[in-house]
Every structure is written in C-alpha cells, then in structure tokens.
Amino acid sequence: MNITRPSDRFHPGCLLLSKVDYLNYWEEGKILLPRLCHECHLVKPLRAKHCRIINRCVSGFDHYCPFIYNSVGYRNRPYFVGFLTTMCLNSVVGIYLCWNWFNVMGRSIFIGIGFLFLSVIATTSAMMTSLCVYMAAVNLTTAECFKTTKYAYLLDHQGKFFNPFDRGIILNFMEFLHTIKPLTEEELKKAELTLV
C-alpha cells in the first residue's frame, strides 16, 4: 500500500496523517496488517492487545481481571502481583486467627465457613501469584503464555515456540519492575523475527 503525503504540510488531511502511529512503516510499505486494531483505529505496538471488555488496546496486555475491574498490562502488572501477594498473606493470617479462635471458643459454624472461605482464597491467590512470578521470570504475559502459537513473534523460522523477549531471569524481573526498558522493536529485529 502506497501512501503519499500531500506537499502542503498544513493540509488538514496531511496533519491528520502525520499523527498516525507507525507512519514510517506505512510509508516504507511495511505495514503489518495483523497489528491493525479496527476498534481503536490504530496500529498496535508490539505485545499490545485489544481488550474487548474495556474496549481499548492495552500495552503488554496480560488479562482482564474482574476483581480490580480493569485490564492488567505492562504498567500495572507489578501492582497486580502485589495485590495477589497481599491477598494471599491476609488470607493466611485470617486462617491462623480462625484456627486460634476455634481452639479458644470451640466449634462454630461461622468460624468453619470463614476458615473454608479463606482457605480457598489463599490457595487461589497463591497459585496465581506463583504463575505471575513465573511469567515475569520468563518475560511472557498470560495471553502469550496460553496461546504461544497464536502470535507470530513467538515463533521461530521453523514455526516452533521461541521467546525473543527472554533476557535472563534477572533482566526479566528488572524489566517487569520497570527498572529497565523493554527491548525495542529495532533491537528485536536484529534477530530477524517476524514482529506481527
């Protein structure tokens, strides 16, 4: 697809076109059709996905969480893991208190229900925390982890799974905690991967 810029830089169409993300890709004929979002009308950055629930593209989309009523993505993943960890710890403290109360006050249906409820929450949040920490360690999102074959940028030239974002466990955690920046597309392109 060839797109030419009008010579008049102040033409309304030209001004509008100049604000299109990845315009240089369009001009060089490198536009990647799978990365077009028809809902947001933009070219999605690498690893961004359109969330159908909040109806917008999310950078580094992980998943939608109904408990926080929001999507989890690149910017709020560390806070989400913190949320899961504190929920797990609070549940463990609650279980301990239930157990103590049970020993002091004797059998009670309310303490039993509380014990069971907190046990389920503690187990679930511990599993989710472990999964999130694992994915941070290997630099994958939940969406990528469960659909590795769906994304071309996670496949090598032979069609096998390959994670180009994996920089080693320490750098992966540093990237997860936003202490270092993610690899740019230019840096990833040096590996001659298909970034669509």
Q: Choose, by CB under 5 A, the member of 50, 97, 155, 162 that binds Zn ion.
A: 50
Query: Which token pair is 132?
Result: 């999130």
CB 122 within 8 A of CB 95: yes
The least distance separating Zn ion from the CB of residue 54, rounded to whole angstroms, comes to 10
The window from 14-22, 45-53, 64-72, 114-122 that contacts Zn ion (CB under 5 A) reads 45-53
Q: Is 51 a catalytic residue?
A: no
The CA distance from 84 to 124, in Å, is 9
Closest by Cα among 126, 120, 132 to 88: 126
Q: Tell whether residue 39 is a contact of Zn ion (CB under 5 A).
A: yes
Catalytic residue among 65, 98, 132, 145, which?
A: 65
Work out whether 64 is an interface residue with Zn ion (CB under 5 A). Answer: no
Q: Is 167 in the site for Zn ion (CB under 5 A)?
A: no
Stretch that binds Zn ion, among 7-15, 57-65, 75-83, 138-146 (CB under 5 A): 57-65
Note whether 57 and 51 are within 8 A (CB).
Answer: yes
Considering the rule CB under 5 A, would residue 37 count as an interface residue with Zn ion? Answer: yes
| Least gap, CB of 137 to Zn ion (angstroms) | 28
Q: Is 51 in the site for Zn ion (CB under 5 A)?
A: no
Closest to 138 measured CA to CA, from 165, 158, 111, 119:
165
21 binds Zn ion (CB under 5 A): no
Long-range contacts, stretch 72-75, CB < 8 angstroms, 24+ apart: 72/142, 74/47, 74/182, 75/178
Positions that interact with Zn ion (CB under 5 A):
37, 39-40, 50, 57
Catalytic residues: 65
